[in-house]
Amino acid sequence: MNEAGIMKSVFTVVVALVLTACSGTSPEKHAVAQYNQAVQQAVMKQFGSGEKYAGQHCTVTAERRADGGYNVMRTEGDEPLCLAAWHSVSSAQRLPLPPQQAAKTAIFLFAPLKPTPHAAATGAG
């Protein structure tokens, strides 16, 4: 299974940055959406497949540092997954600088999925 298939069928991370940009213009919203996507990809890359945490969940609340990285403020959920999620969020690398409208607080939802038999057998995602 290729990396995209693994990410799609085994692991889901949602980055819910507190949406302060909702009142902005379309270009501002687009810049924030691109930033959110880049952060999500960086965290997912740091985390890996997450297969061993399938069925667990963790919510990570973090604050953006001046260098663009994140300091984890709290976690809630299954401890093994939360420890891995904490590490992934706090050590994600090559994060872009945020647009001015991006929120400083982020909520990362980790919920690794069990691969479906079809996806695991065929590599489909």
Question: pLDDT at position 93, please?
Answer: 86
The reply to whether 50 falls in a domain is yes
Range name among 24-28, 73-77, 89-93 with the lowest pLDDT average: 24-28
Summarize pLDDT for 37-71 with one digit per residue, the tens. 999 999 999 998 888 999 999 999 999 998 889 99
User: 123 in a domain, yes or no?
Assistant: no
- The stretch 90-106 carries a mean pLDDT of 89
- The SS3 of residue 16 is strand
pLDDT > 80? residue 121: no
Is 78 contained in some domain?
Answer: yes
Least confident window among 14-23, 75-84, 85-94: 14-23
Buried-exposed string 55-80: b where 16+ CB fall within 10 A, e elsewhere: ebebbbbbebeeebbbebeebebbee
- Whether 113 has a pLDDT exceeding 90, the answer reads no
Residue 84 near residue 111, CB atoms below 8 Å: no
- The residue that leads in pLDDT, 100 or 22, is 100
Number of domains observed in the structure of the chain: 1
Domain of 30, in residue numbers: 3-117
pLDDT digits (tens, 9 = 90+) for 4-45: 433 333 345 565 554 444 455 688 888 988 998 999 999 999
Could you tell me the CATH number of the domain that includes residue 8?
3.30.1150.10
In a domain, 122, yes or no: no
Is residue 21, in this structure, part of any structural domain at all?
yes
Contact 93, 85 (CB under 8 A): no
Is the residue at 124 inside a domain? Answer: no
Q: How much is the pLDDT for 6?
A: 36
